[in-house]
Amino acid sequence: MRDQKITLIRPYCTEPEKTRRLSDVLRVGLRGYDVELLESAAEIATADLRNRRILFAIELGESGINLSYCKMLKMIRLDRQCLEGSVAGIVVDGNSELFTKSVCRHLAFSANRAGCTFPGRPLVEGTASLRNFNIVAQNLHTDNYDAYRQSVRALVDQIADFRRERIERPKLLALHAGSAKTSNTMGLWNMVKEGLEAQITEISLSDGEIYDCRGCNYEACLHLGEQSKCFYGGVITREVYPAILDCDGLVMICPNYNDAVSANLTAFINRMTALFRAHRFYEKRLYAIIVSGYSGSDIVAEQLISALNMNKTFLLPPRFALMRIANDPGAIAQVPNIREDAAAFAAQIMKEFCEG
The predicted-structure confidence for 161-199, as pLDDT tens digits, reads as follows 999 999 999 999 999 998 777 899 999 999 999 999 999
Predicted confidence at residue 207, as pLDDT, reads 66
Q: How many domains does the chain have?
A: 2
Return the CATH number at 212.
Answer: 3.40.50.360
273 and 237 Cβ atoms separated by less than 8 Å:
no
Same-domain status, 122 and 242? no
The β-bridge relationship of strands 171-176 and 199-204 is parallel
Query: What pLDDT is recorded for position 221?
Result: 46
146 in the same domain as 17: yes
Mean per-residue pLDDT, 121-146: 97
Residue 61 is predicted with a pLDDT of 84
Give domain status of residue 166, yes or no: no
Is the pLDDT confidence value at 343 over 90? yes
- Give the model confidence (pLDDT) of 21-73 as tens digits: 999 999 999 999 999 999 999 999 999 999 999 999 999 988 899 999 999 99
Please tell me the predicted confidence (pLDDT) of residue 233: 56
CA distances from 82 to 9, 69, 104, 156, 202 (A): 14, 16, 18, 21, 34
Average pLDDT over residues 258-287: 92
Instruction: Identify the CA nearest to 53 among candidates 120, 149, 118, 123.
Output: 118
Residue 81 placed within a domain: yes
What pLDDT score does 223 carry?
Answer: 42
Q: In sequence order, which residues have a C-beta less than 8 Å from that of residue 330 and are 6 or more positions away?
A: 182, 184, 187
Q: Does the pLDDT value for residue 208 go beyond 90?
A: no
Mean of the per-residue pLDDT values of the chain: 92
The predicted pLDDT at position 209 comes to: 61
For residue 179, the model assigns a pLDDT of 79
Asked whether residue 204 falls in the same domain as residue 249, the answer is yes
155 and 176 in a single domain? The answer is: no
* Position 110 in a domain: yes
Domain boundary among 161, 191, 213: 161
Q: Confirm whether 9 is domain-assigned.
A: yes
Please check whether residues 101 and 224 belong to one and the same domain: no
Q: Is residue 229 part of a domain?
A: yes
- Whether residue 105 is contained in a domain is answered as yes
The verdict on 157 and 182 lying in the same domain is no
For residues 232 and 346, membership in a common domain is answered with yes
pLDDT digits (tens, 9 = 90+) for 312-324: 999 999 999 999 9
Q: Is the pLDDT of residue 1 over 90?
A: no
Give the predicted TM-score (pTM) of the model: 0.94
**pLDDT at residue 204 is higher than 70:** yes
**Is residue 227 within 8 Å of 267, Cβ to Cβ?**
no
pLDDT given for residue 225 in this prediction: 45
224 with 91, same domain? no
Asked if 288 and 179 sit in the same domain, the reply is: yes
- Domain boundary residue, one of 95, 130, 161: 161
* Domain span holding position 284: 171-355
Helix (H, G, I), strand (E, B) or coil at 323: strand
Would strands 199-204 and 123-126 be described as parallel, antiparallel, or unpaired? unpaired
Distance, in Å, from the CA atom of 181 to the CA atom of 64, rounded to the nearest integer, reads 44
More confident residue, 222 or 61: 61
> What are the b/e assignments for 179-201, b being 16+ CB within 10 Å?
eeeebbbbbbbebbbebbebeeb
**93 & 152 share domain:** yes
pLDDT > 60? residue 281:
yes
User: Based on the domain organization, do 246 and 156 belong to the same domain?
Assistant: no
Highest mean pLDDT pick, 1-15, 260-274, 283-297: 283-297
**Which of these ranges, 13-22, 66-75, 145-154, has the smallest mean pLDDT?**
13-22
- Residue 101 predicted with pLDDT over 60: yes
Say whether 54 sits in a helix, a strand or coil.
strand
Residues 66 and 104 in one domain: yes
What is the side-by-side strand order in the sheet with 199-204?
199-204, 171-176, 249-255, 285-292, 321-325
Measured at the alpha carbon of residue 7, what is the angle toward residues 108 and 84, in degrees to the nearest 5?
Answer: 55
Output the pLDDT for position 28.
Answer: 96
Q: DSSP string spanning 157-191?
A: HHHHH--PPP-SS-EEEEEE-S-TTT-HHHHHHHH
Distance (Å, rounded) from C-alpha 40 to C-alpha 159?
22
Percent of the chain with pLDDT strictly greater than 90: 82
Residue 248's SS3 state is: coil
The last residue of a domain, from among 114, 132, 161: 161
278, 6, 273, 10: which is closest to 160 by C-alpha? 6
CA distance 129 to 96: 8
Summarised one tens digit per residue, pLDDT across range 150-161 is: 999 999 999 999
